[in-house]
Amino acid sequence: MTQRISFELNATDGKARTGVISTPRGDIRTPAFMPVGTAATVKAMMPESVRATGADILLGNTYHLMLRPTAERIDKLGGLHKFMNWDRPILTDSGGFQVMSLADLRKLTEHGVTFKSHIDGSRHEITPERSMEIQRLLGSDIVMCFDECPALPADRKRIAESMRLSMRWAQRSRDAFGDRPGHALFGIQQGGLERDFREESAKALRDIEFDGYAIGGLAVGEGQEAMFDVLDYAPDMLPVDRPRYLMGVGKPDDIVGAVKRGVDMMDCVLPSRSGRTGQVFTRHGVVNIKNARHQDDPRPLDEGCACPACSNYSRAYLHHVFKSQEMISGMLLTWHNLRYFQDIMQGMRDAIATGTFEQWEKAFHDGRAQGDIEPL
């Protein structure tokens, strides 16, 4: 009999939680950061390199994969894990956010969304049922409900209509998902920045019952203060015994603030995208490797980091390959950023387990406030 996906909460410190999501493809230690493998690859990284950074799970993108190479093709080739050579858990998003942000000429109805591909202009439709089918063909371990996410700012009427549509789609997603041992379905709380709508959404999702619950509709331009205001109450509306996933977050201080407020899982393109543009995250804040101050500097990016970029290369070299537009630049800086994000997660897991989260958080913010090391 196939193992069911389960969540065990091991320790709490304030609202911060640490635990383990157990899946047939391996354990996911929480709080967890999920690198984004949009088109079946974390850009500039080999899967074994992503694993070496400390990642337990990757995120794949339903919208991008359904357009190219198509879910049916991936299924025929043995599923997404085999296709991209990643044998650990994969979470796929539902495609709803990308339809909102990328697709042209989208038309939204009760049934679903029709849209034109941003790649070649071809017409497609995603419904809750089709999203479940695509994610089944991909073979992902954690499947997300198909939802509609309005861009903020939006008025209360628009937010309410969107949230209630998403809740009807959540029920249809649940019905279409069926019983799939070894795979989990997460519902997505919506409601914008409106507390009453968040409560209504959470109740609807609890009534349907899911294996985990996401907090959606944030990190869409509302700013950190507004996001934290929602996270002060939204996670508490969701079941204690299921994982809570904050979608699309974020910067290091966003992640720490979310965990402090009871979030267990996050994903973001930031560490990989920033690595390709020369923006490097360190314990002492953000470093821009393209700045001329690094061109003669023999020191590592971060002497406390064990990634290959910091262990084997100088700031001068990393500056040189970035300015020369060498491919190794994106590889090394992405590896470093992903390792830094995973080091933050491990630091938080350890601190929550020992009841020292508050001290850890202070040291985290104090270190970043110091700024980069002085130029030579």
Torsion angle defined by CA atoms of residues 260, 265, 267 and 270, in that order, rounded to the nearest 10 degrees: 30
Per-residue pLDDT at 2: 76
State mean pLDDT over 104-115: 89
What's the CA gap between 13 and 17, in Å, rounded? 7
What's the chain's Rg over C-alpha atoms?
21
pLDDT digits (tens, 9 = 90+) for 199-215: 999 999 999 999 999 99
In this prediction, residue 306 has a pLDDT band, given cuts at 50, 70 and 90, of: very high
Taking alpha carbons only, the member of 301, 336, 365, 333 closest to residue 54 is 336
Residue of 13, 56, 93, 302 marked active site:
93
Q: Would you say residue 93 has pLDDT above 80?
A: yes
Q: Which two tokens stand for residue 11?
A: 């320790």
Amino acid at residue number 16:
A
**pLDDT band per the 50, 70, 90 thresholds, residue 24:** very high
Q: Give the lowest-confidence range in 141-155, 172-186, 218-232, 264-278.
A: 141-155
Average pLDDT (323-332) is: 98
Enter the CATH code of domain 6-268. 3.20.20.105
Dist CA 369 CA 16 (whole Å):
23
Query: Rounded CA gap, 106 and 121, in Å?
Result: 11
How many Cα atoms are found within 13 Å in the side-chain-facing hemisphere of 1? 3
d(CA 140, CA 62): 10
Mean pLDDT of 70-85: 98
pLDDT value at 151 more than 80: no
Cα 363 to chain centroid, rounded: 25
**Marked catalytic residue, from 141, 267, 302, 372:** 267
Q: Is 93 a catalytic residue?
A: yes
By residue count, the chain amounts to 376
Asked if the model's pLDDT at residue 327 lies above 80, the reply is yes
Q: Looking at residues 332-338, what average pLDDT do you find?
A: 98
Domain ranges of the chain: 6-268, 275-370
- Cα–Cα distance measured from residue 102 to residue 86, given in angstroms and rounded to the nearest whole number: 27
* Statement: residue 30 has pLDDT above 70: yes
Supply the pLDDT for residue 105: 76
Computed over every residue of the chain, the mean pLDDT equals: 96
HSE (CB half, 13 Å, CA atoms) of 139? 20
Provide the pLDDT for residue 130.
97
In the structure, what pLDDT confidence band is assigned to residue 280 with cuts at 50, 70 and 90? Answer: very high
In angstroms, the CA 40 to CA 16 distance is: 31
Residues 6+ apart with CB under 8 A from 33: 55, 255, 265, 266, 267, 268, 341, 342, 344, 345
Give the global pTM: 0.97
Instruction: Judge whether residue 261 has pLDDT over 70.
Output: yes
Q: What is the pLDDT of residue 1?
A: 58
In this prediction, what percent of the chain has a pLDDT beyond 90? 92
- Summarize pLDDT for 160-188 with one digit per residue, the tens: 999 999 999 999 999 999 999 999 999 99
Q: 134 phi and psi, to 5 degrees?
A: -60, -45
> 376 or 100: whose pLDDT is higher?
376
Please report, for residues 38, 66, 130, the alpha-carbon distance to residue 98 in angstroms, rounded to integers and kept in the order given. Answer: 11, 12, 15
Which regions of the chain does DSSP assign to beta strands (E)?
A: 6-13, 16-23, 26-30, 32-37, 58-61, 90-93, 104-108, 113-116, 123-126, 142-144, 184-189, 212-215, 244-246, 265-268, 279-282, 285-288
Supply the pLDDT for residue 310.
Answer: 98
Residue 87 known to be catalytic: no
Cα–Cα distance, 308 to 321 (Å, whole number): 15
